[in-house]
Structure 1
C-alpha cells in the first residue's frame, strides 16, 4: 500500500500535465453538476467558449460572463398591471402571484381632478406609448386553485389563428425517453459538423418528449451542447427553421430566464423586416408562450405591422392586440390605425374576440375615442349571452379604464351577473365589484349577488382581492346590515394574509379605508397599519405614495375613536401631508369656477369676503369647504385668516362661463313667496308690509324635468328687487326674523359638490364623502350642500338668483 501511494505521488511529480488534466476534468465535472442543478431550479446557465466567429456581414461574440444568471432578468420582469390584471391565466401561471408596483395606474396614489376621484384606489397610469420597466418579484405561498378562464380561448374561434399562434393544448405526439437520448447521442457524434437542418430536426424531435420528462433532457450536457450549436448556426437558419426552433423551446419548457434567448430575440429583431405578417405574429406568440418579455422584438414587430396594415384582417388584428396586451405596450403611432381597424371589423368579432380585445386595450393602457369604445361595447351587448365569464369581466375592465358608463351594458350586467356568480371565482367577482366602484355604479342586484357568493370563497382571496372588494363595497355604501357575512369574511381573509403586507402595504390601507367608509374598524388591523414599523415600511416605498392614505386613516381614527390609545402618525408626517394636500387644492379644486362663484356670492351675501373662509376643515378627507360662522342672532361672524388661506390667491370669477357651461340645462327660477321671505320688502301690492314678520316658506325643489326647472312659479326680477337682494346688510336684516339655535354660534361647512361625489344617476354620496359628512358633524359643523343638479344650472343665471338661492341654503340651516 505504501509503495503504491509513493508511486502515485512520484508519478504526479514527474508528470505535472497529467495532474493538471485531472484538475480540469474535475472542474468540468463540477461545472456540469452545477449546470444540471441550475437547470432543475429553472436557472439554466449556458457557458460557451469565448471566441468570435467572423463572417461576412455578421458577427457573433461569445462572452461567458454575459451568460451568468442575473439577479433581475428583464426577460421575466412583469409590470404591476400584468400581475394585478392577469387574473385568469392558463395553468402555466402560478395561481397566486403578486409583485411590488413599479408601474404607476407615475407610481403613486393621487388626487384626480379630472375624474374627481379624490381617493383613487388605482395608481397613476403610464402613457400607452411607454414600455414597462422591471419590478422586484416576490413569491408567496400558493392558494387553492381558483376558477379561471383561458385568455387564449379566442384562438379557437377561427381556423386562421393556427398560422399565427401556437395551440398549447395540442402537444405533438410524444416519443419515448430512449429515443430522446439516442438523439442526444447523435449530437455527440456529429458535433461541429451539424448543419442548421440537423439542429432544427434534433430540437423539433426532442420537443415531442412528454412534458414530465423534459427536465431530464434539459439537464443533460449533450442538450446544452446542442443549444450551443444552435446558437452557432443562428444566422444560417431560414425564417421557418428559426420559428421551428423557437417552438421546440416552448414544448421543451425552456426557462424564460435562459440567457441564450436574448440572442434569439436579437436575431428575430434583425429579421423582422424580411418576415411576413403571419411569421411576425407567430414569433410574438411563441415568445409569449415562453413567458419572456421581448421589447426589442416587439418594437420591430409594431413598426413592420404599421407598414403592412392592408394585410391585417380580423384574426391578425385580434392577435396583434393580444400581443400588445401581454407586452403591456402599444406605440402611440399605432393607436389611430388600430382604432380605425376595430371600427371596420367590430361587427365581425366573435364574443371571445371582443373579450380579448377589451382586455388587451386595458392591459396596454391604450385609450381609444369614446365613440370607438362605445361601438365595441355595443357589439358586446348584442352577444353578451354567448360570452364567457372571462370575456364579460374584460369588457368591464375596459369600461373601468375608460371611465365610460355604457347604460345598455350596465343594464345587461344587472341580468347577467346574478346568474353567473355561483360559477365565478374570487378574482372575477373582484373585478366586477371594482368596475362598479370605478364607475360609481351602485346596483344592489349585482353587488348583493357578489356579496352572497364571496363568504364561501374567502379562503381563495389574496390580500389584493380582499382589499379591493372592501374598497368597492365601502365606496358604494353597501352597509354591513345588507350583507351580514361579507365584511367579517373579508376582514378575516385580510388577517390570514397579513404576511403579504410586508410586500404590499397598500393592500392593508385600501381595505381599512373601505371599511372606514361604512363605519367598520377592526382594531387589531388599525394598530398594525398605524404602527411605527408599518408606517416606516409604507413611507419608504418609491413606487407608491401611501402617505395620504395613512393620513386619512389616522385622521379617521382620531375622530371616530376619541379615546384611542393605539399608535398614531407623527406630527411631522401629518404636517407634511397636510401641506401637500393643501398645495394640490390650491392648484386644482380652489380654482374651479363653481367654487370661485360660490365663494364670491357668499361674500356678497354675508357682507364681505372676510365672512367666508375657503379651507380644508378636516384635511384628511382631502377636499375643501367654504366655512361660515353665524352668531346666535344669525349675524355672520368674521373668520380669522390663517396661513393657509392667506397664501391662497383669490382669482376673479370669470365674467362669462366657459363653453362647457353653455351646454348645461338651465331653468332655475324664483317664487314670489321666496322673494318675499328673502328680501323682507314689498313687491307691488302682493307682498306683506315690512313691519310684519314674514312667513317661512320652504325652498321647494322639484325633481328636475327635461328643461332643468327646479322651482315653481316664475317671477320677473325688478330693479328694486335686485337692489334689495344685493344691498350690503340685507341678509343679516332678513335673518333676524329667522328662528336661530340658542347658545353657541353655528358653524357651517358649505360644500360645492359635483356628480362624481355621487353614485351613478343617484343622489347617494360615495363612501369618502359620506364619511366626511359624518366626521364634520362629529367636530360640530352643520353641512350645507350645494348639489350639482341645483348649483351648476344657476351658474348661468343672474346674480340675484344666486344670492337668493344661497340665502335660502345658508339661513335655512339655522332652524
Structure 2
C-alpha cells in the first residue's frame, strides 16, 4: 500500500527510484558503515612516501617542531544568530542541542518502531524522529546502525508525501541532531519533496529549510533556486533577520542570481544602520562567498558601517569584512588604517585561517603595513602545525607580494617553507597551492630547490596541466623562467621547449590586445621612435616572457648613439634617410637651460624625421632640477648636463671616438599604480622580481613612472621629448 501512495504522488521514474532505494537501503546503510570502518590512512601514507623519497637523508628536526605548539583557535561562524531572537524562526541554533534522554528511553522508542511497523502514521514517524534526536551524542552511532532505525527511515520515505510542511521540517531538523551523513540516500528523497512543495512554503519556512540543509552539509541547488525565485514574492516581508539569513544562505550556497543583486542591495542599504557587528560580518561573508558585486557606493557604506563597529566585532567578523574588500578590490582608507591597530592587538589570539585572510587582503589591496605584517609573523610560527598547505602557500604569496623580506623574520619563512615539505602529499590534490607558495618565495629571492624540483618534475607538471578549473601554465612558466635566471647552477627539471613556446605565444597574444594598446605605452613608443630616429631603434616586446609584461627595448652604443634593435627590411633602409644626432655619454654638472624647438631639433635631428611639421612654439624656460631629485621628478624642469650642451654646439667631427662593440641594453618600463604598494614607492613582489631579473639578463631598467608620464601625455611634444631624453641618458650614469 505504501508503494501505491508513492506512485500516486510521483511520476513513474521517481516511483521506480524510490522502490529500489527502499528495498536496498538496509544493505546500503550496512555497507556504508562497514566501509567507513575499513578506511585507513594507508593511501595518504603512500602519497606522502611518493613525495618524500629522499626524506631519509633529511635528519634535521623541522623548525615548527622546535617551537611550542599553540592550540588551534576555533571561531563561531554563526555568531550572528545570537544578535536577535527573531532568527529562531528561520534558522537552527546548533549550539543549543536538545536535552538528552536516557538510553532506556531510546531503546523503548526503537522497540515501538518494531511494534508499529507499517501501521505508523506520518505523525508517528515524525514524533519518533524528534524523540530519537534527543539521544545523547555519544550514543547516536548506535542508533544509526540499529536495524529498527533503518526501518524508520524506510517508513519515513513511504510517508514522505503525507507529511505536513511543519512535520517535514521537524524530521529534517531531527536529521541534523542525528548527524545523518549529507550523502545519505534518504536525504535525496527529502530534497525532491521539499523542492516540489517550495511554492507552498512561507519565506520563513524556505529560509529554515535552507538552513537545515546547510547544517546537514548537503548541497541542494534546485531547492535554493526555488528559494531565490520566491524572494520576489516576499520582498515586502523581508525584515533585517530574514535579509541577513538570506545573505548567509547565498554565501553557503556559493551563488546569488544576478537579478537579485539590485533588490537585495536596496534592502541592505535600507536596514544598514540597524546592523549589529556580527551581522555586518555575516553579510560581508555571504557576499564574498557568493561572489556578489554590489555597487561601489554600497560597498563603501557597508564598510563605513563596519568601521564604526570594528571595536565590538569578533575576529571572525573583522576578517569577513577584509575578505569582501579583497573581492571588491576596494581600498577603504579608514578601515585599513583601523586594521593597523586592530590586527596587532588581536593577532596573538587569532587562528591560522584568520591571519592568512588578513595577509591575503592586504596583498590583494596592495596595502603594506609593517605593523600588520610583523604581528602576523610573530604569531604564525607557533601555529604552523595547524596550517593547511593552502594557508602556508597563501601566506607566502601575500608576504612575497608585499615585498616583506626574509631578513625581517627568518623564522616566518623557514617555518612555512618547512610546512610545505611536511604536506607535499596535499599538492597532488591542489597543485596550484605549491605554485602559489613557490612564486611568493621567488618574489623575495627564496628558491627552495627540493620543492622547485618537485614543481617542475614531469609528473607534477602533467598533474597541474590536467586542472580544468585553473590555468596553471602561466604559473609554471613564470617559475621556470625565474629558475633559469636566478639559479644558473640549476641542473634539475625544466619545462619542455614546446610548453614554454606555447605559453609564450599565449601571453604575447594577450599582451598585443591589452598592454600594447594602452595609450601611455603607445605614446612612449612613438616618442622614443621620434627621439632616436625611427622604428628600428625601439622594440616593444616581452623581454622576459615569463614575467607576462612588455617593455620598450632600446640599444645604445658607448657614445650614446642608438643602435637598431631589430634589423630593418631592405626597403626600409633605402627609403629612410634620417639619422639620429650623436649623443655623448653624460658627465658633468647639471645646468638650467631654455628648451626650444631648435634645441630639440639638434638633439633629435627632428627636421629630417617623417611626420607632421610642428610650428615652433614660444621659448619656454624650464627651471633648474637638482640632481638628488632623481629620475622620477620631471615637472617643469629639464635635467641636462654640460656634456649635452657641448654636444649641441660642437661639430660631430671633433667628438671622441668610442668602442662601437659595447652595447648598452635598456628596458624601458611604462609603470602603473598597480606596480606599487598603495600610496608608496615600494614595488610589489612580482615587479621587484622582474627588475631584478632584467638586471641579471644584462639590462639597465629605465622607468617611466606613472604619475610623471601620465601627466606628460597632456604636455607638448617638446616636453615629452625632453623628458624621454633625460630618462634615457641619465640612466647611463647610474
Using structure 2 for the length normalisation, give the TM-score. Answer: 0.83
What is the CA-CA distance between 1:600 and the residue it aligns to?
1.0
**1:152 to 2:78 alignment:** yes
What is the CA-CA distance between 1:267 and the residue it aligns to?
1.4
Q: What SS class does the counterpart of residue 552 from structure 2 fall into?
A: strand
Number of residue pairs the alignment of both structures matches: 648
**What are structure 1's unaligned runs of at least 5 residues?**
1-47, 70-97, 99-142, 647-669, 689-694, 714-728
Partner Cα separation in structure 1 for residue 280 and residue 654 of structure 2: 65
**1:61 to 2:24 alignment:** no
Structure 1 equivalent of residue 685 of structure 2: 767
What is the CA-CA distance between 1:321 and the residue it aligns to?
0.5
Q: What SS class does the counterpart of residue 626 from structure 1 fall into?
A: strand
Q: What SS class does the counterpart of residue 478 from structure 1 fall into?
A: coil
Structure 1 residues 685, 473: CA separation in 2 closer, same or farther (over 3 Å shift)?
Answer: closer
Structure with bigger helix share is 2
Structure 1 residues 562, 302: CA separation in 2 closer, same or farther (over 3 Å shift)?
Answer: same
Contact 2:600 2:721 in 1 (8 A): no
What is the CA-CA distance between 1:55 and the residue it aligns to?
2.9
State how 1:322-721 maps to structure 2 within 5 Å: 322-640=248-566, 672-673=593-594, 698=627, 700=629, 710-711=635-636
Partner Cα separation in structure 2 for residue 403 and residue 731 of structure 1: 54
Partner Cα separation in structure 2 for residue 260 and residue 737 of structure 1: 93
Contact 1:400 1:435 in 2 (8 A): yes
Partner Cα separation in structure 2 for residue 731 and residue 240 of structure 1: 97
Structure 1 equivalent of residue 115 of structure 2: 189
Partner Cα separation in structure 1 for residue 452 and residue 568 of structure 2: 32
Q: What SS class does the counterpart of residue 185 from structure 2 fall into?
A: coil
Partner Cα separation in structure 2 for residue 359 and residue 683 of structure 1: 59
Structure 1 residues 590, 735: CA separation in 2 closer, same or farther (over 3 Å shift)?
Answer: farther
Q: What SS class does the counterpart of residue 746 from structure 1 fall into?
A: strand
**1:274 to 2:200 alignment:** yes
Structure 2 equivalent of residue 134 of structure 1: none
User: Which of 153, 159, 165 lines up with 1:227 in the alignment?
Assistant: 153
Partner Cα separation in structure 1 for residue 504 and residue 407 of structure 2: 34
**1:757 to 2:669 alignment:** no
Contact 1:433 1:473 in 2 (8 A): yes
Q: Deviations over 1:475-500 (max 9, x none)?
A: 11111111121111111111111111
Contact 2:632 2:704 in 1 (8 A): no
Structure 2 equivalent of residue 297 of structure 1: 223
What is the CA-CA distance between 1:181 and the residue it aligns to?
2.1
**What are structure 2's unaligned runs of at least 5 residues?**
26-43, 45-68, 573-590, 604-615, 639-646
Q: Deviations over 1:600-621 (max 9, x none)?
A: 1111111111211110111111
Q: What SS class does the counterpart of residue 703 from structure 2 fall into?
A: strand
Instruction: Please provide the CA RMSD for this pair.
Output: 3.3
Structure 1 residues 273, 748: CA separation in 2 closer, same or farther (over 3 Å shift)?
Answer: same
Q: What SS class does the counterpart of residue 751 from structure 1 fall into?
A: strand
Partner Cα separation in structure 2 for residue 732 and residue 484 of structure 1: 57
Partner Cα separation in structure 1 for residue 619 and residue 691 of structure 2: 43
What is the CA-CA distance between 1:734 and the residue it aligns to?
10
Contact 1:505 1:538 in 2 (8 A): yes
Structure 2 equivalent of residue 249 of structure 1: 175
Using structure 1 for the length normalisation, give the TM-score. Answer: 0.75
Q: What SS class does the counterpart of residue 7 from structure 2 fall into?
A: strand
**1:788 to 2:706 alignment:** yes
Structure 1 residues 549, 523: CA separation in 2 closer, same or farther (over 3 Å shift)?
Answer: same
What is the CA-CA distance between 1:758 and the residue it aligns to?
0.5
Moved more, 288-297 or 736-745: 736-745
What is the CA-CA distance between 1:57 and the residue it aligns to?
8.1
Structure 1 residues 797, 732: CA separation in 2 closer, same or farther (over 3 Å shift)?
Answer: farther
Contact 2:2 2:158 in 1 (8 A): no
What is the CA-CA distance between 1:599 and the residue it aligns to?
0.8
What is the CA-CA distance between 1:699 and the residue it aligns to?
9.4
Moved more, 557-566 or 617-626: 557-566
Partner Cα separation in structure 2 for residue 738 and residue 344 of structure 1: 77
